[in-house]
Amino acid sequence: MTETTAAAHVGHDHGHDHAHGEEPNYLQASHGLKSWIFTVDHKRLGVMYLAAVSFFFFVGGLAALLVRTELLTHTKTIMDADTYNRFFTVHGAIMVFLVIIPSVPAGLGNFVLPLQLGAKDVAFPKLNLLSFWVYCTGAVMAVSAILIGGVDTGWTFYTPYSSTTSGSVVMMVAAVFVLGFSSIFTGMNFIVTIHKLRPPGMTWFKMPLFLWGIYSTSIIQVMATPVLAITLLLLIMERVIKVGIFDPALGGDPVLFQHFFWFYSHPAVYIMILPGMAVMSDMIAAFTKKRVFGYRFVAFSSLAIAVISFIVWGHHMFVSGQSELSSMVFSFLTFLVAIPSGVKVFNWIATMYQGSVSFETPMLYALSFLFLFSIGGLTGIFLGTLSVDVHLHDTYFVVAHFHYVMMGGTIMAFFGGLYYWWPKITGKMYFERTGQIAAIMVFIGFNLTFFTQFFLGSRGMPRRYYNYLAEFEDLHKLSTFGAYFLFAGLLLSLGTLVHSLLKGPKAPANPWGAKTLEWTHTASPPIEHNFHETPHAPAAPYDYDT
Amino acid sequence: MSNHEVSHDYPQPFLGLTPRAVEAPHAHVLPKAVYFGVLGALLFLTVVTVATAQLDLGVFNLPLAMLIAGTKATLVASIFMHLYWDHKFNLLLFVSSLLFLSIFVVLSMLDTEGRGMVDHQRENFLPRDEVVEKAPDGVMHPGQPFGATAWDANHEAFEAKHPEGHDGGHAAPAGGHAAPAAAHH
Amino acid sequence: MSPTEGKFPLAQHFSDPEQQLDSNKLGMWLFLVTEILLFGGLFCAYIIFRSLHPVAFHECHKLLDWKLGGINTVVLLISSLTAALAIRAAQVNDKAGIKLNIIITILCAVTFMVIKLVFEWPAKFDHGYLPGYNFMGHVANPDQAHIFFGLYFLMTGLHGIHVVIGIILFSWLLIKTYKGQFHSGWWQPLELGGLYWHVVDLIWIFLFPLFYLAG
Amino acid sequence: MDAEQLKQLQSMHLPLDGVWLPKATSTIAHVVDDPFWIIYWACVIAFVLMMAPMFWFAWKYRRKSAEQKALSQIDHSQAMEIAWSVLPLVFFFWVFVLGFRGFLEMFVAPAGATEVQVQGQKWQWSMAYDHKGDRVSVGGVGAEFVFPKNKKFKLVLKSTDVLHSFYVPNFRIKTDVIPGRYTTLWFEATEAGEYPLLCTEYCGTDHSNMLGKIKIVDTEAEWHAWLDKMNTTVVDVPTGKNLFETKGCTACHSVDGSTGLAGPTFKGLWGRNEQTNKGPITVDADYITESILQPQAKLVNGYQPVMPTYQGQLKQDQINAIIEYIKTLK
């Protein structure tokens, strides 16, 4: 279907009895607090998730700034060691469990996924609502654990430290347990939606790659999160009734805890990055007006990553005292997972070849993603190599590596996706120039903050250090100043979006000329039931012409 | 699924996507005899597994019990849960959950069973009462097991309440009830 | 939203009954997968500690009463059958059959919990066989026995919680049956409840030999 | 941790060597450094090979008018897909083998290496050397551990409380230190000097202060002289004070009467009457000795049984020296 007929559709009056002769969009369809609290509309839930995630991103970011500020000098700067330990735990736990994991799937995914499928909603709208409120419950529990008693275990909760330290560890662990269920519900919902609610004509290989990415993510969410749940339950039991599974003083095995934890948490790394990759494919296609190069390879690489992610967790444990045999096997398997990630990046770059490349804000974030994720991925090779990892394990090299992947990857894609779908979500256009400036500030600030940490790590600066050797101070200062700059960029970026809500011009149905159903067949913002008629899938997933 | 009607009855009731009454699809119904037959088989296998557990088959006791349990599980899943007639994707999900579980177990055991392969000193973690004996010498005493004394106190309090022999045939062999050794050295 | 007798209540965001039935069932299966992996973590812990302390696990399993475990196995198997028969009764529009089978299922589940909570666990507690740190039993391997009993109580306890949830679930289904909501046109809640119940049964099928029999 | 100790820690210095890896001073370092540089240059090349086309395409095919469409819709190339899947895989396999061989070399101690016991506890390291049929135990916050160069040492490590990780950046050695189990490492230093020993597994409040100093001396004679010095104990107050400060006592016992730590203050301890779980006692030499060697034998009411035993780590002379020191704390 061409763009003009789609536009005609969107504007077409279906004879519904409404003041303007047009159906109200999903934001106006009903009013009042209750219409949001009890909504089963995936779009409203997506918006609520985005609001919650943005809030916690801000909180987690503040914690990060405090941590970075403390590290300005090699001894005490603004807080004592125990406070510092609590702040880096807060930063890690909030960013992982409350921000990155739900950001793209539950936030953007909830909004976009049914639209891209031409569906009226996700398969289980009530479950979707439940998922959001479970998330909120978990968030409240996490915040109260942080405020009452505090948690100083790091987000990894390693035993026996976590099973013996004081503070509200049980509450925090229970919060993460609850958040896990939110994640599982979202994943289940998306798998069923993609399986059963595809529009006529949309075969698996005609789906936009965003859906492939989210689908793969959902598989990991469903398969891995229950193991996290049981791990956390065992940890709580270890603290409460001292079962003796993880605490060596009771006959348990602390390294076994790490197996349990990473069996979830390594796949969880892909729960975090796969949705970022999913957004990337759609953005690159839209801003080059080209079909994604190697569509099938990109699609299958998502699935491959999802499956292989389950068999590489031991690379977090090369020096943990696990058997040398495990280390060998896990190191080998780790290299395998690098291939599909690499394939994706190569294909995105190849997509730009002979395209029509424009540089709106989402594309700037997409290019940042390619740059930063490449660094994050390549530095992973150092860490996957057994002997090199012995030196680099638990140093700032690892910190820098996963920030390049998690923030340089997922958060960049998340911001890109947020800008990309912002007109669709809110019906407003943001101010392009400020968006671009913010994106460039974020890029510069990010590299300043984290590239320095590769130097620090390779020189032997251990992570989670409150005091450190004087040699490292200059680089730490640079990193901290970078963090301030990065924070300013992020604030400007969010500010641009908020500003557009107040002052932005009305967005057209398809400002980017993109080809997926949410752009071609709905208004901005969409009506409550998304489509007037169930749309037919286009002939190709990204049906651009020359 | 093309071209069906879309209702425009705004506003929607909260939490409600009002269903429409349509023609019901045909259900797949099994004869009752199949269900009772499966129950019979399950009960029989239960008797078998209890009976074989009374025999001493050495290392084969566990695999045999697991084989029988697996057969029972297959019966329940394929007939009671209709997996045999269901969409193959549901079967795939069920099987892949078992697959991921076995990956979890096997790769974890690759560690726990493989420790000490290249250097016996790096072998598996030691049970609490053996730590002291296996220490290379007198210097590397293990630390006090966490809360071990409280553990002892618990035992003592319990023994005071229940004089020896309270639990019939389950009394420990002499000396077998070793308190954590480190506390008493 | 009481569905019309003999008709299928099609939710608005689905286009035909097959799509709705398949979606709900797929959703349920995904949930069951999470259940299996949830218990899977405990099974993994069991296997690893069993292989570390084979002697202790052997000694400790003798302290459990396989007769009670066996009765519970039979009870659960019967309830699994009636759960399946309840769906069948709905499919052939046998209203009395639905009620009867659900009631038997609930009774079996209650029996299971009574045996567990009245006859089994209190006897263990009396002997000091408490999980973890509180373990006070006089056994040959006290330093590993607490792990065995820790796992025993955790795994059968978590399973027991699932049985209780099953009782609540089937009571809810029974109320709906009395309201006449299940008939040959609409029986899927029974099917989904049944799937859940079968998984609870499946897990017990493995728990029984691992704890009560295989030493 | 008092100000003096902190100052001492900050005087620690990590020998560097350019912007990346620190100066390598052990024979095993090459199994880290060689693959590191191979991967480093491979990554630099790969990064350029990815970013150059990206920026080139972005510039060359930039959209000049709003209506501009793509020049072509070329969307697959089997040959390229296979090439960029297989070539990295070959490289990865090579790197994997390099890394694995190096890893085995790092964790399999050569025959004849001298064994040294290492213990990590919150928040200090201690080591025990075999010396002239005796056991020389050294430790404490920022403690100095001496080894000669060109001699192979095997470290057998354990922890008494939570996970720690033993890390000497200049030697490129690291392993987690686990309670209830041993892990091992080995090294042979190539150059005299002082190298920091760090803890890299998060272990609580003073994680970042859990440092030690590995001092490499040129000759074994110097090493033996140091061991002799460490092995003699004069029973006097300064020695007792030194032992008190270097053996980890400070973590739980104050000397200024302040409470709040896990153990009782030493101020006014000597001669005090206390109620224990085994009845009343008077704090005398016997009781202090017993409390150091069997901390849980008689536990003063109100305290948790958390003190580790010092059996084998402190000799009677050393305990006597500590008793002399405690006597002075009135």
In chain D, where the domains are located: 1-47+84-231, 237-328
pLDDT at C70: 93
Dist. CA B71–CA B41, nearest whole Å = 10
Q: Which of A241, A247, A534 to mutate to test the interface with C (most CBs of C within 10 A)?
A: A241
Cβ–Cβ below 8 Å for C144 and A251: yes
- CA D234 → CA D127, D129, D130, D145, D231, distances in Å? 20, 19, 20, 20, 10
Question: Among residues A423, A408, A415, which one has the least CA distance to residue A493?
Answer: A415
Q: Is D212 helix (H, G, I), strand (E, B) or coil?
A: strand
Q: Extract the runs of DSSP E, i.e. beta strands, from D65-133.
A: 114-121, 124-131
Could you tell me if C70 lies within 8 Å of chain B, comparing CB atoms? yes
Of D294, D306, D307, the CB nearest to B185: D294
Is the pLDDT reported for residue B139 higher than 70?
A: no
B148 at D interface, C-beta within 8 A: yes
Contacts of B6 in chain A (CB under 8 A): 120, 529, 532-534
Mean pLDDT of chain A: 91
Chains C and D touch (3+ CB pairs under 8 A): no
Which residues, in sequence order, are CB contacts of C174 under 8 Å at separation 6+? C99, C102, C103, C106
CA–CA separation, A362 vs A357, rounded Å?
12
Summarize the confidence of residues A346-357 as an average pLDDT: 94
**Domain annotation covers residue A21:** no
User: How far apart (Å, rounded) are the C-alpha atoms in residues A472 and A460?
Assistant: 9
| Adjacency order of strands within the sheet including D212-217 | D144-148, D212-217, D193-199, D164-168, D173-177
C-alpha–C-alpha distance, residues C136 and C67, integer Å: 24
Q: Is residue C75 part of a domain?
A: yes
SS3 state of residue D275: strand
Higher pLDDT, residue C117 or B181:
C117
Rounded average pLDDT over B26-44: 91
Q: How far apart are the C-alpha atoms of B152 and B184, rounded to whole Å?
A: 10
Domain D237-328 classification at class level? mainly alpha
pLDDT of A7 higher than 60: no
Q: Are A219 and A191 in contact (CB under 8 A)?
A: yes
Which residue, among A142, A150, A230, A145, has the nearest Cα to A184 in the 3D structure?
Answer: A230
- D200: CB partners within 8 A, 6+ apart: A393, A394, A395, A462, A463, D165, D167, D174
Q: What is the pLDDT of residue B9?
A: 36
Distance from CA of B2 to the nearest CA of C (A): 8
Q: Provide the number of structural domains found in chain A.
A: 1
Residues 464-503 of A with CB under 8 A from D: 464-471
Integer Cα distance of D231 and D214 in angstroms: 18
Which of A130, A196, A231, A239 has the highest number of chain C CBs within 10 A, making it the mutation to test binding with C? Answer: A196
Q: Residue A377: what residue type? A: G
Region of D282 (left: φ > 0; alpha: ψ -120 to 50; beta: rest) is beta
Contact indicator for A69, A87 with CB cutoff of 8 Å: no
> Would you say residue D57 has pLDDT above 90?
yes
What does the alpha-carbon distance between residue D38 and residue D19 come to, in Å, rounded to a whole number?
16
Calculate what percentage of chain C has a pLDDT beyond 90.
60
The shortest CB-CB distance from A192 to any of C23, C36, C158 is to C23
Q: How confident is the model at residue A290 (pLDDT cuts 50, 70, 90)?
A: very high
The residues spanned by each domain of chain B are 30-85, 87-125, 126-163+178-184
CA dist., res. C208 & res. C177, Å (int)? 32
Say yes or no for a CB contact (<8 Å) between B38 and C136: no
Averaged pLDDT, A61-87: 93
Maximum mean pLDDT: which of A125-139, C111-125, D60-74: A125-139
The C-alpha atoms of residue D236 and residue A494 are separated, in whole angstroms, by 67
Range D15-39 average pLDDT: 94
In CATH, what number is assigned to the domain containing residue A506?
Answer: 1.20.210.10
Domain count, chain C: 1
| CA torsion, ordered C197, C203, C207, C209, to nearest 10 deg | 100
Residue A186: pLDDT band with limits 50, 70, 90: very high
Domain containing residue C103: 42-213
Burial of A11 from C-beta contacts in 10 A (0-12 / 13-18 / 19+): exposed
- pLDDT of D69 strictly over 80: yes
Confidence bin at A510 (pLDDT 50/70/90)? very high
Subunits with 3+ Cβ pairs within 8 Å of B are A, C, D
D178 touching chain A per CB within 8 A:
yes
The percentage of residues in chain D with a pLDDT greater than 90, rounded to a whole number, is 45
More confident residue, A439 or D234: A439
The CATH number assigned to the domain holding C48 equals 1.20.120.80
Q: What residues make up the domain containing A290? A: 41-520
Among A119, A250, A253, select the one facing C13 at the smallest CB separation: A119
Query: What HEC string does chain C produce?
Result: CCCCCCEEEECCCCCCHHHHHHHHHHHHHHHHHHHHHHHHHHHHHHHHHHHHCHHHHHHHHCCCCHHHHHHHHHHHHHHHHHHHHHHHHHHCCCHHHHHHHHHHHHHHHHHHHHHHHHHHHHHHHHCCCCCHHHCCCCCCCHHHHHHHHHHHHHHHHHHHHHHHHHHHHHHHHHHHHHCCCCECCECHHHHHHHHHHHHHHHHHHHHHHHHHHCC
Residue of D nearest to A163 (CA): D162
- Give the residue from chain C lying closest to B151, CA to CA: C133
Q: Residue B175's pLDDT is what?
A: 32
* DSSP 8-class letter at D213: E
In a domain, A114, yes or no: yes
Q: Which residues contact C189 (CB under 8 A, 6 or more apart)?
A: C173, C176, C182
C126 pLDDT band, cuts 50/70/90, is confident
Query: In 10 A of CB A204, how many CB atoms?
Result: 12
Mean pLDDT, residues D141-163: 91
pLDDT for the residue numbered C11: 84
pLDDT digits (tens, 9 = 90+) for B167-178: 333 333 333 333
Q: Which of A449, A472, A478, A459 is nearest to D18 (CA)?
A: A459
> Percent of chain A at pLDDT above 90?
80
Q: Which long-range contacts (CB under 8 A, 24 or more apart) does D255-261 make?
A: D255/D329
D309–B185 CB contact, under 8 Å:
yes
Cross-chain CB nearest to B114 (options A242, A247, A325): A325
Q: pLDDT higher for B54 or B145?
A: B54
Q: What predicted TM-score, i.e. pTM, was given to this entire model?
A: 0.88
pLDDT for D75: 86
Q: How many Å separate Cα A44 from the centre of its chain?
A: 19
Q: Identity (one letter) of the amino acid at A494?
A: L
Interchain CB distance below 8 Å, D61 and A468: no
Percent of chain D with pLDDT over 70: 98
Cβ neighbours of A249 (radius 10 Å): 26
Q: Which runs of E-coded beta strand occur in B15-117?
A: 20-23
Q: Which residues of A touch B132 (CB under 8 A)?
A: none
- The CA-based dihedral angle spanning residues B81, B82, B83, B89, taken in that order and rounded to the nearest 10 degrees: -100
Q: Answer yes or no: is pLDDT of C103 > 90.
A: yes
Weakest mean pLDDT among A120-134, A294-308, C150-164, D242-256? D242-256
Contact residues, chain A, for C36 at CB < 8 Å: 226
What ipTM did this prediction achieve? Answer: 0.88
pLDDT band at B151 (very low <50, low <70, confident <90, very high): very low
What pLDDT is recorded for position D18? 87
CATH fit for domain D1-47+84-231, picks 1.10.8.60, 3.60.150.10, 2.60.40.420, 3.40.50.300: 2.60.40.420
* DSSP-derived secondary structure letter, A100: I
Q: What are phi and psi of C11, to 5 degrees?
A: -70, 155
Cβ neighbours, 10 Å, residue C90 = 28
For residue A136, the 8-state DSSP code is H
Q: Which residue has better confidence, A137 or D316?
A: A137
For the cut 70, the answer to whether the pLDDT of residue B24 exceeds it is: yes
pLDDT of residue A526: 93
Residue B183 has pLDDT above 50, yes or no: no
What is the pLDDT confidence band of residue C34, given thresholds at 50, 70 and 90? very high
Whether residue A230 contacts residue A236, with contact meaning beta carbons closer than 8 Å, is answered with no
Q: What is the mean pLDDT of chain D?
A: 88
In this model, does residue C183 exceed pLDDT 80? Answer: yes
With a cut of 70, say whether residue B180 has pLDDT above it: no
Chain centroid offset of residue C128 CA: 27
